[in-house]
Amino acid sequence: MDEDLLLKFLTRTADERELEEIGRWIRSDKKRADELFEMERLWSLRDELRYSDEKRLDEAYKELLGRLERRGVGVRKERRRSRLRSILAACLRYAAIVVLVSVVSIEAYKYATAEAEPAPVENHIQVPGGQRVLLTLSDGTRVWLNARSEFSYPSRFSKDARNVRLEGEGFFEVAHDADRPFVVKGGLLDIKVLGTKFNMRNYEDEASSVTLVEGKVEVATADEGERLTLRPREQVVYSPETGITLNRDVDTDVWRAWTKGELIFRNQPLRAICRELERKFNVRIDIRDPRLAEELFTCHFDETVGIQDVMSLLGETRKLTYSFEKNNIIIRSLKK
């Protein structure tokens, strides 16, 4: 296979014809899927924990190159070798710290394509503070998991259902399958879809929410007390104390920004902003003034900004002062 096509596959830029070519290549030899999906798994984690080790990179490159050539990928020219090595470099310089019980998504793919399929295994992932993870499930569904989230899913879905469980926050791009609904159990809210894009937020210290980007989803409270169908740009928010609220014409970019490492806040109280900062940067923030905690802020932080930069920008509002004490941040009001 041409390495340019491999790169398009990894960067999600391949068109329908190219994806069909990749599919035919995989189906012609099931062992080829191992190498391709191992590369995809590494690539999907590139935005997580940064490290650089040239010796490890060289060893991994040589090993992968040999395995790809034995599989018939066809790396023949030195220019293409350099291109493939650059792809692998981007993959290997990033990793995610996650807890995997059982197997990773490559094994899920093996189970999904094997002729004699064993019983599916339940996988469980815990994403620590300061990290985020992208998974590709056995049906092709992609799931982004935010910091301090837990996600359970089978290595292979059953023939009539696709059931997963989420605690925390996840963004889903669900592969369409009219015969198998995709169901997300989320504590206070349950979601049922056939194929769509949506964000689900289910942290224990706040109300649960579902924000729809594309398609249609059916949302129900866990006790089946209320049920409704969402259209694109609609959001449902639920807590046992306040009940269910439907918001229309929601800016979905705000709710999916975290998948790119960004944070967008629009008229949000400082306490809510600090909760997000705690998860993203794995720190503890203590707001000493209750009135300051309810102050509203609007701000946008891109992927490159660190916690020091964030606090400096918040300090420029002249509403607060802050200090760092080891892994803790103390925020005090400037108002008398």
Say whether pLDDT at 114 is over 50. Answer: no
Averaged over 11-19, what is the pLDDT? Answer: 71
Say whether pLDDT at 322 is over 70. Answer: yes
Q: Are residues 122 and 203 in the same domain?
A: yes
Confirm whether 77 is domain-assigned. yes
Q: Are residues 205 and 110 in the same domain?
A: yes
Question: What amino acid is encoded at 273 in this protein?
Answer: I
Average pLDDT along the chain: 78
pLDDT of residue 225: 73
Kindly state the tokens that stand for 185. Answer: 């159990």
Q: Which sign, positive or negative, has the C-alpha torsion 302, 305, 310, 312?
A: negative
Q: Are residues 89 and 112 in the same domain?
A: no
pLDDT band at 33 (very low <50, low <70, confident <90, very high): low
The Cα–Cα gap between 115 and 78 comes to 37
CATH number of the CATH domain containing 318 = 3.55.50.30
267 and 298 Cβ atoms separated by less than 8 Å = yes
pLDDT band at 7 (very low <50, low <70, confident <90, very high): confident
Distances (CA, A) of 138 to 23, 141, 190, 282, 313: 14, 7, 21, 31, 42
pLDDT band at 44 (very low <50, low <70, confident <90, very high): low
pLDDT of residue 48: 41
Confirm whether 54 is domain-assigned. yes
pLDDT one-digit tens code per residue, 176-188: 998 899 999 988 8
Q: Are residues 107 and 246 in the same domain?
A: yes
Confirm whether 187 is domain-assigned. yes
Number of domains the chain contains = 3
Share of the chain above pLDDT 70, in %: 69
Its domain, for residue 52, covers 3-95
Q: Are residues 140 and 213 in the same domain?
A: yes
pLDDT band at 24 (very low <50, low <70, confident <90, very high): confident
Q: Which of 193, 217, 250 is the last residue of a domain?
A: 250
Greatest mean pLDDT among 35-39, 95-99, 158-162 lies in 158-162
Question: Left if phi > 0, otherwise alpha if psi is -120 to 50, otherwise beta: which for 130?
Answer: left
The Cα–Cα gap between 149 and 131 comes to 10
CATH number of the CATH domain containing 136 = 2.60.120.1440
Averaged over 199-218, what is the pLDDT? Answer: 92
Confirm whether 256 is domain-assigned. no
Averaged over 54-71, what is the pLDDT? Answer: 55
Confirm whether 255 is domain-assigned. no
Where is average pLDDT lowest: 15-19, 93-97, 195-199? 93-97
Q: Are residues 315 and 302 in the same domain?
A: yes
pLDDT of residue 11: 66
pLDDT of residue 187: 81
Averaged over 53-63, what is the pLDDT? Answer: 53
Q: Are residues 217 and 269 in the same domain?
A: no
Q: Which of 95, 114, 140 is the last residue of a domain?
A: 95
Confirm whether 67 is domain-assigned. yes
pLDDT one-digit tens code per residue, 232-251: 999 999 988 888 899 999 99
Where is average pLDDT lowest: 9-18, 69-78, 263-272, 304-313? 69-78
| Euclidean distance between the first and the last CA atom of the chain, given in angstroms as a whole number | 68
The Cα–Cα gap between 172 and 327 comes to 32
Q: Which of 50, 71, 95 is the last residue of a domain?
A: 95
Q: Are residues 113 and 208 in the same domain?
A: yes
Residues 6+ apart with CB under 8 A from 30: 110, 113, 114
